[in-house]
Structure 1
Amino acid sequence: MSKAILGKKLGMTQIFTEEGAVVPVTVVEASPNVVVRVKTVDTDGYNSIQLGYGEVKEKHLTKPVKGQFDKAGVAPVKYLREVRLTETPEYTVGQTLAADIFASGDIVDVIGTSKGKGFAGTIKRHGFHRGPMAHGSKSHREPGSLGAMSSGGCGRVLKGKKLPGQMGGNQATVLHLSVVKVDMDKNLLLIKGGIPGAKGSLIMIRETVKPL
């Protein structure tokens, strides 16, 4: 992987191809990113770059974070994300990356934080089927049996069993999405299909790690 950029999800729309086909796209605002730090195998044991994105007031920074920006000689940014690289980085500290690092037709992976759904039951969270809805049924939306009892069994709920709990709000990655259009005038990337996260959330677009 050699290319990546941070951006903000704006929402979805649709565009028409020259043949008249409708293509659903997600619009991502990819304002210029700044390279805050470069790591190499010789100095840090692995290759990566640290990207910065978004505006932030200096008073909202802690002293260690502010010192990192001062050392790099770049203006403070709101978000910092590290991108692992397979080869020695060709980037330099202070370099800016814009939406044009990608072109129409590129295959990318998109990483974001999925929408939080709150505390959900097994039907919504795991796709369980419900029980009978007749009055005599004692199990409509309950998860059912939790496992063997202590007599001859383990006497506990086995780790990893699908049960109710918090749903969403986790890091999610969608692979093999195609870049439909790059609008440099507005710093926009139009990516075919849906991507994780709510409107206004931070996402990372990277060159796919599993080429087709």
Structure 2
Amino acid sequence: MLDLRANAAETNVASNARVRGHGCSEREARKDERHVKNIIGRKVGMTSVFLDDGRFVPVTVVEAGPCLVTQRKTADTDGYEAVQLAFGDANAKRVSKPMLGHFKKTAAAPKKFLREFRDGIDGVEIGQTVTVADFTIGDRVDVLGISKGHGFSGGIKRHNFSGGGASHGSMIHRQPASNGDTNAGRTVKGSRRPGHYGVDRVTHQNLEVVRADAERNLLLLRGPVPGAKNALVVIQQSVKVKGS
């Protein structure tokens, strides 16, 4: 028993030394593993898949990339660090001359969409291609998109109001009630009223990468993703990683 305890103690000391040694911690190593986790894509739709443990989970299929690095911004020239990714081929006749000159700097064909990323840009250079192969199963990502548009909507649909009574004698069924107190004599700014619903910038955080198909440029993300079918989505490494 003494030998086992001694061996266990030596193992713990050695592992702690490896973690503290050379200025490389476990968290830094985990950060380095996911340094290129930014990509642009289109939402294909939703389906369900079986996981290895037998669970049946809903997933969103995203056609992601390939994306080309068209610009690298630095603190010396631009005041901040960032990389610019381009996605989707564009007709050169529909691209402005300044943008054509921008793409000529990297000898790349004109692209439709350009997005900047400030996180996860270590080791990324101009001309590099970012693909689904940079993602692995279990990665956590944040997905940004534009929510579906619902036009002009009432309070029940837009703000989940309860509504009035539905039986005989009720004068209010779905319309909103009082606008406020008599003393104010006006509608307070910011109050929830009927209006345009949707077409907002929405971010879904901490979505798990269930599968990554590099051959077909497909990412399967667990859960829903903002936007309608074929909507543009931006996938980036999670800011609030669970368990970190």
The answer to whether the superposition gives a TM-score over 0.5 is: yes
Q: Does 1:40 align with 2:74?
A: yes
Contact preservation (8 Å) 1:8, 1:200: yes
Structure 2 match to 1:69:
103
In the alignment, the residues of structure 2 paired with residue 81 and residue 19 of structure 1 have an alpha-carbon distance, to the nearest angstrom, of 37
- Give the stretch that moved more between structures: 19-28 or 6-15: 19-28
Query: Which segments of 5 or more consecutive residues in structure 2 lack a partner in the other structure?
Result: 1-33
State which of 26, 30, 47 in structure 1 corresponds to 2:60.
26
Q: Does 1:118 align with 2:118?
A: no
How far did 1:48 drift?
Answer: 1.0
How far did 1:211 drift?
Answer: 1.4
- Whichever structure has more helix as a proportion of its residues is 2
4+ long deviations beyond 6 Å: none
RMSD of the TM alignment (CA)? 1.6
- Cα distance change of structure 1 residues 133 and 23 upon mapping to structure 2, 3 Å threshold: closer
Q: Does 1:142 align with 2:175?
A: yes
In the alignment, the residues of structure 1 paired with residue 128 and residue 161 of structure 2 have an alpha-carbon distance, to the nearest angstrom, of 50
Contact preservation (8 Å) 1:112, 1:202: yes
Which letter maps to 1:14? S
How far did 1:141 drift?
Answer: 1.1
Query: Which segments of 5 or more consecutive residues in structure 1 lack a partner in the other structure?
Result: none
Structure 2 match to 1:183:
213
In the alignment, the residues of structure 2 paired with residue 65 and residue 185 of structure 1 have an alpha-carbon distance, to the nearest angstrom, of 30
Structure 2 match to 1:163:
193
TM-score normalised by structure 1 residue count: 0.92
Which gives a bigger RCO, structure 1 or 2 (Cα 8 Å, sep 6+)?
1
Structure 2 match to 1:201:
231
- Cα distance change of structure 1 residues 103 and 62 upon mapping to structure 2, 3 Å threshold: same
In the alignment, the residues of structure 2 paired with residue 121 and residue 199 of structure 1 have an alpha-carbon distance, to the nearest angstrom, of 25
Q: Trace 1:88-103 onto structure 2 (pairs within 5 A).
A: 89-103=122-136
Structure 2 match to 1:132:
165
**Percent of residue pairs bearing the same amino acid type:** 47
What secondary structure does 2:89 align onto? Answer: coil
How far did 1:89 drift?
Answer: 4.5
Structure 2 match to 1:6:
40
